Structure 1
């Protein structure tokens, strides 16, 4: 998955930055030498190191297309990993909307769509402003914080008929506790939700600057104290909500209303708003 790809109707070339190519772990034998310079709008010339043809998948299944793109590989600093130019966009029959940060394209049975994000655009813009000769191309995958286990883990099968369904538990617990935990995990392998419930994709909430700053401060405090850690998901997230206290200050909560609607009530209900 390659992030930070610029869709540029004004570019006549498709560009892949060399540092992004390296992170893809593709062989150098897939590159061909390139001698012709690339001339910019202001007349500045950049010499591509090579060229290569790679398959590109755009969109999410089933509304996606897969096409081979001939990239010019540049070894220079950029806040983007790749640029898709006008020629390729035309061949894909792409319609772009800068206002909606979206592109739509023809597929065999309808129309596919790829959506950009304000956060990624803002990060690229700030990186471009701060860039100097030592700045490297940003990584293909966003930075990920991986929490290392504090003890040796043991694989536990959850379904005897499907070995792919397994989890890992620590090995330092007592044998009785371990047996009880394994029994509970196997019993609870299925989520306790209403069969008729449908997944709900919450729309991303946008806050006023005052509330937005408070959210950033709260998240930063929780991250520093290691109460939470950063993870990456493409969809299915619950929004945070801001609730004003009696003293006029703000409390940050998580909106689990949609989740509660899908779950039967039990002795340990998950309240609509979980706050800290």
Structure 2
């Protein structure tokens, strides 16, 4: 396939058609982490880090010894500090071939309850050059072969 330069990323009303409007749904997608299809991944433009919750980490059957110690701490909505079990870098794939991206992401592994398996924050969204639309419940991003997209989970 030929490489496409100077891509224009746009959202159309057709992209929004599958959803009942108005809505206030969170942008939740599925991505491939390592060799695992990971559902319930929150796309969070407000998060300064990428998070993998321990139950998802455990289900991936990754050895806990692979976690790299970290001094980071996070502050939750209630102001309580959460200390990660460690950090791990894994390849993540989004999109469908050939409009896809594969990039290594460093996740902080957190052992606390959540409705999500992971959170993808600004570091990753910026590295993917993602454009998010909560109205359309999708993300779009440039690839070597056109605009890739991931719709809500």
Q: TM-score range by the shorter chain?
A: 0.7 to 0.9
Q: What secondary structure sits across from 2:126 in the alignment?
A: helix
The reply to whether residue 19 of structure 1 matches residue 55 of structure 2 is yes
1:60 aligns with 2:71: no
The correspondence of residues 67-82 of structure 1 with structure 2, limited to 5 A, is 67-82=103-118
Shift of 1:44: 2.8
Higher relative contact order (CA 8 A, sep 6+): 2
How big is the shift at 1:62?
A: 1.5
Query: 1:112 maps to which residue?
Result: 148
Distance 1:111 1:90, change over 3 A: same
Compare the two structures and name the one with the higher helix fraction: 1
The TM-score, its normalising length taken from structure 1, stands at 0.41
User: Among residues 34, 41, 64, which one is paired with 1:28 in the alignment?
Assistant: 64
Partner Cα separation in structure 1 for residue 106 and residue 90 of structure 2: 7
What's the TM-score once normalised by structure 2's chain length? 0.72
Which residues of structure 1 form unaligned runs of 5+? 118-276
- SS for the counterpart of 2:48 is coil
In 1, are the aligned partners of 2:70 and 2:86 still within 8 Å (CA)? yes
Larger fraction in strand:
2
Query: 1:1-276 residue pairs with structure 2 within 5 A?
Result: 1-40=37-76, 43-117=79-153
**Aligned residue pair count:** 117
Distance apart, 1:41 and its partner CA: 5.5
Please say which of residues 17-26 and 39-48 is displaced more in the overlay: 39-48
Quote how far apart the aligned CAs of 1:23 are. Answer: 0.5
The two structures, once aligned, show a CA RMSD in angstroms of 1.3
The CA deviation string for residues 31-71 of structure 1, in whole angstroms up to 9 with x for no partner, is 11223211246643111111100100001111110010000
In our comparison, the structure showing a higher alpha carbon Rg is 1
